[in-house]
Amino acid sequence: MNLEQARKLRDAVRHRSHRHQGLVCQHDSAKTRLLHFDSLLAAQTEQVRQLLDGIDGLTVTCVAQNCLQVSYNLTEYTLAGLEKALTSQGFRFQQSWYRSLERALIHFWEETQLRNMRVPQRLIKKSNEVYVKAWEQHPHGDHDDTPRELREER
């Protein structure tokens, strides 16, 4: 793989859309995932390791002959983005039903976490004011409809 292909992969993997949306930081945004490649193409695992090793924010280690461990921050990368970029370069992942289900669940979890990170945080100090105003407007048993003059005469 030449330098131009590596640059294209790096740009395809990075999530520019996530950077400028004011993501709320979460303690579990650091992810470690396993990439299982097709066992018939064992040589591609080393090529992917060398390719991903040069990208900022990714830590790649070889776990097995056809498996890589990738660590990244969810605010910059997702597993779906990594897989999309690698498949566009011609690399093939394991397609067993178990691996496909595992990847689909991880894609769902990461997308959900990103969606939750985009939601602005509540202002804790002012949250009770909303409930106080709603309580004042809501008819409840603590409200006495008797005019003030009649209540004071008793």
Residue ranges covered by each domain of the chain: 3-118, 124-153
List, as one string, the DSSP characters of 31-87.
EEEEEEBPTT-THHHHHHHHHHHTSTT-EEEEEETTEEEEEEETTT--HHHHHHHHH
What CATH number should be reported for the domain whose range is 3-118? 3.30.70.100
Each residue's pLDDT, cut to its tens digit, for the chain (154 residues) gives 555 666 666 666 665 444 445 665 666 888 999 999 987 777 888 888 888 888 888 899 988 888 999 999 988 899 999 999 999 888 889 889 999 999 999 999 999 988 888 866 666 666 777 778 877 777 766 667 777 787 776 5
